[in-house]
Chain A
Amino acid sequence: MRAAFVIASLESAAGPYPSDWLPVAMLVLIAVVFAVGTLALSAMVGRSRRGPVKDSPYEAGVVPVGDARRRFHVRYYVIAMVFLLFDVEVVLLFPWAVLFNADRSGFLLAEMFVFLAILAVGYVYAWRKGVLRFD
C-alpha cells in the first residue's frame, strides 16, 4: 500500500514543470494583463457616450434623490452582511450536488446536513438577536 503510494508520488515528482522563473513570471504577467486588460478592453471596445443621464449613478433610470453622503441606518449594513454571508455559504450546495454520487450517498448527505445545521444555528442566532427586524 505504502509502496504504491510512494510510486504515485515519484510520478508527480518528475512533473512537467520547468524549474526556473518562467511559471512565476507567467503568473505575474497574467495577473497584470488581467487587471489592466479588462479595463483597457472595456475602454477600447465599449463606445463612450456621455451625457447627463449616462453619468448618473443608476443607469436603470432611477433618479437619485438627495445627497449620497447621508447616514444610513446601521441595520442596513447588518442585513446586507447577513445576506452576503448566507448567500455565499449556500453556494457550496452547487459543487456538492455536482460531486454527489450514489457510491457515497450516505456520507455526503450527512455532511451536507451538518453544514446546513450549522447555517441554521447561525440563522437562529441572527434572528433572535433581532438582526432581521427592521423597524
Chain B
Amino acid sequence: MNHYAVNLVLALLPEIALLAGGMLIVLLLATQSTAEGDCATTHRRAAWAALFTVFAAAMLLQLGPRVSPDELRPPAPQSHLLAASQPAGVVMLGPPVLALDGTTRAVRWAAIFMGVLLIGGNFGCPENVTSRLKMAGRGSPEFFMLLLFSLAGLMLVASANDLIVLFLAIELTSLPTVVAVVLSRPRHGAIEAGGKYFFLSALSVAFLLLGLAYVYGATGTTSLERITSMTAYGWAGAKGPIGLVAVSLVVAGLAFNIAAFPYHVYLADVYQGAAAPVSGWLAFVAKAAGFVALAKVLVAVAGPVRMFDLGWVGEPVWQRFIAGLAVATMLASNVLALRQRSVKRMLAYSSVAHSGYILVALLVVPEPGETLPIVAMFYLVGYGLANLGAFLTLSAANPDDSREADTFDDLRGLARRKMPLAVAMAIFGFSLMGLPITVGFMGKVFVFVGAYRAGFAWLVVVALINSAIGVAYYLRMVASCWLDVLDPASDDPSPVGRGSQGETAAPPRPTPSLVIAVLAVLTVGFGLLPAGLFRPMASERTVREILHPAPPPAPPRRPPLASAPARP
C-alpha cells in the first residue's frame, strides 16, 4: 500500500514542485519585514525563484517517472458484501483519485508555458520604490507565489478523477486569483473588484459544491471513473430529476469560472480593477480550469463513454445544451462589448465571447485519451497569449504615465508615441479577431472545422457571425492606436519631440517589452506553424491525426459531379 502513496507522489511531481516553490517564496518573503528592506530586490528574487520553479516543474514533467493508471489505484476498503466472493490472494483495488490522460498532459504543458509568460509579464519592479508604495501593491512579490499555487491547482484539475479532488483543485486555482486582484492596488477599483469577485466566487462555489453533492447523492460515489462506468452501463440518473439538478448546479458553478452567460456579469468589473498580468492570469488559468472540470463532469455523468479501447460508446447527450449555452454566451457578450468605452471592459466582454467559442470546442469529438478536445486547449493558449499581450500593452500604453490606459481615447496616438507597442497591439487585436497568420485564426479554424465535422454546422455559422461582430470592437481598439499619427515628413515638426517628452517621466512599472515582443512573435509564429504549439501538448499520434491527416477515403461524391469522366 505504501507503493500507492509513492506512486501518487511520483505522479504529481510537477505539481508538488510548483507548490514547494510557492512555499519557498513565502519563506523568502517572510525573511523581509515590511518596515525596511529593498522591495525591488525582493521582487526580483521572488520572480527568479518562480521562474526557476516553473522550469523545474517542466523538467520533472519531461524527465520524471511515468506512472501507469493502474498503479494509482488505492487498495479498496474491505467490503463485507464482496468478501465472500473474493478469491483469496486477490487485492481489491478502488478507483484512482487521479487520471493522467491526454488532457492532463496538454493542460500541464499549457500551464507551464503560460506560467513562464505570466511571470515574465510581472517581472519588472520599479526602482526606488518606497515601502509605502509596496504596501500599495506596486511591487507585490506575493503575485508569484499566488501564481504558482494557481498553476498547481490548474494542473490538479486536469488530473483529478474524483469529485473531491476536483473541487479542491478548482478552489486552489481560483482562490489565489482573488487575492491577486486585491493586490492590484492602488489601481482604481481594485478593492471593490476583489470584494465582488470574492463574494461571487464564494456563491458560485456553493452552487458547485451542492451540485457535486447531488452527483454523489445520485451515484453513491465520488469517483469520476465509477460514475463514468455507471453511465456506460445505462445509469439513467443523469437524465432523471436528480441528475438534472446536479448537472444544472455544477454547470452553474463552473460557468462562473469560464464566465459563460449569464455568469459573465462580474467579469468587466474585475478586469477593470485588476493589474494587467492578473487579468491575463484570470483569462487563462481560471478559464482553463473551468473548461477542463466542465468536460470531466459532463463526460462522466452523461457520456460519451470511452470503454477501454473500444472507442466512444453512446451519444454525448449534453451537446445540445452546451451548444445553446455557447450561442447565448457569444451573443450576449458581443452585443455588450460593442458598447463599451473602456478598453478593459471591452476585453472583458470579449473574453466572455471567447468562452463561447471554447464552448463550441467542447463539441469537437475528442481524440482517444482526451476529455477536453486538444483543439480547445490550443484555442485557450492562443487566446491566452493574445489576451495577455493586449493587457500588458495596455498597461504600458499610458498616455500620461500616471496610470494605465483604459479608454479608447487613451490609446490615441500610441503609434506616434511608442510605435512598437502599437504594432504589438495590432498583432494581438488581429489574433483576437481571428485574422489569418495569427494563432487566433488557427484556433478558430481548428475549433470550427472540428465542430462542423461533429455535425454542428449551424453552430459554426453562428460562431462565424459572432466573430464578424467581434471584428468591429477589436478593430476599434487597434485603430485607436493608429489614429492621430503625425508624420515627421509632414509640415508639423513637433511630434517626435512630443513623443520623447512623454517618455521622460518615470513609469510606475517598467514596460515588459521583452515579454510583449515574445508574445507578439509567438502569436504570429504559432499562426504560421501551429504544430509548434500542438507538439508539446499532445501525443505524437494526436498531432499526426490533427496536422497530417490521412486523405479521407474518397467521400461519396454528388452524383452529377462524380459520374463525369475527368478531362484528360
What residues on B are CB-neighbors of A121 within 8 Å?
Answer: 23, 26-27, 30
- Residue pair A125, B236 in contact (C-beta under 8 Å): no
With a cutoff of 8 Å between Cβ atoms, the chain B residues found around residue A107 in the complex are 1-2, 5
CB within 8 A of B240: which of A6, A9, A10, A19? A19
Closest to B142 in A: A125
Binary B-proximity of A1-28 (CB < 8 A = 1, otherwise 0): 1001111111111010101110110000
Within 8 A of B (CB), among A6-58: 6-13, 15, 17, 19-21, 23-24
**Which residues of chain A have C-beta atoms less than 8 A from B340's C-beta?**
none
* A104 contacts the other chain (CB 8 A): yes
* A124:B1 contact, CB within 8 angstroms: no
Q: Which residue of B lies closest to A122 (CB)?
A: B26
For A16, give the chain B residue with the smallest CB separation: B220
Q: Is B219 an interface residue (CB 8 A)?
A: yes
Given A107-B1, A107-B5, check contact A24 B30 (CB 8 Å). Answer: no
Residues of B within 8 A of A87 (CB): none
- Beyond A121-B26, A124-B30, A125-B26, whether A23 also contacts B242 by CB under 8 A is yes
Q: In the bound complex, what is the Cα–Cα distance between A118 and B26 (angstroms)? A: 10
Given contacts A8-B82, A13-B235, A121-B26, contact A104 B217 (CB under 8 A): no
* Interface status of A129 (Cβ within 8 A of chain B): yes
Contacts of B241 in A (CB 8 A): 19-21, 23-24
With known contacts A6-B229, A12-B230, A104-B1, A19–B27 Cβ distance under 8 A: no
Give CA–CA (A31, B437) in the complex, Å: 55
Q: Does A71 contact B (CB under 8 A)?
A: no
Contact of B242 with A17 in the complex, beta carbons under 8 Å: yes
User: Is B93 an interface position by the 8 A CB rule?
Assistant: yes
Q: Per a CB cutoff under 8 Å, which of B90, B229, B236 touches A9? A: B229
Q: Is the CB of B229 within 8 A of A4?
A: no
Please give the number of chain A residues whose Cβ is less than 8 angstroms from any Cβ of chain B in the complex.
32
Q: B233 on the interface (CB 8 Å rule)?
A: yes
Which residues of chain A are within 8 angstroms of B221 by Cβ–Cβ distance? Answer: 9, 12
Q: Is B450 an interface residue (CB 8 A)?
A: no
- B494 contacts the other chain (Cβ, under 8 Å)? no
Q: Does B33 contact A (CB under 8 A)?
A: yes
**B56 in the interface, Cβ–Cβ < 8 Å?**
no
Contacts of A122 in B (CB 8 A): 26
CB-CB under 8 A for A24 and B245, given A1-B93, A12-B230, A13-B230: yes
The yes or no answer to B531 lying at the interface (CB within 8 A) is no
Binary interface profile of A, 56-94, with partner B (CB < 8 Å = 1, else 0)?
A: 000000000000000000000000000000000000000
- Check A9/B226 contact, CB under 8 A, given A15-B220, A24-B242, A103-B1: yes
Q: Nearest chain-A residue to B244 (Cβ)?
A: A24
Pairs of residues from A and B, 3 with the lowest C-beta to C-beta distance, nearest first: A128-B30, A19-B240, A21-B241
Q: Which residue numbers of A lie inside 8 Å of B, CB to CB?
A: 1, 4-13, 15, 17, 19-21, 23-24, 103-104, 106-107, 110, 118, 121-122, 124-125, 127-130
Jot down 20 A-B pairs with beta carbons below 8 A, ordered by A: A1-B93, A5-B93, A8-B82, A10-B230, A12-B219, A12-B220, A13-B235, A17-B218, A19-B236, A20-B240, A20-B241, A103-B1, A104-B1, A106-B2, A121-B26, A122-B26, A124-B30, A129-B33, A129-B34, A130-B34
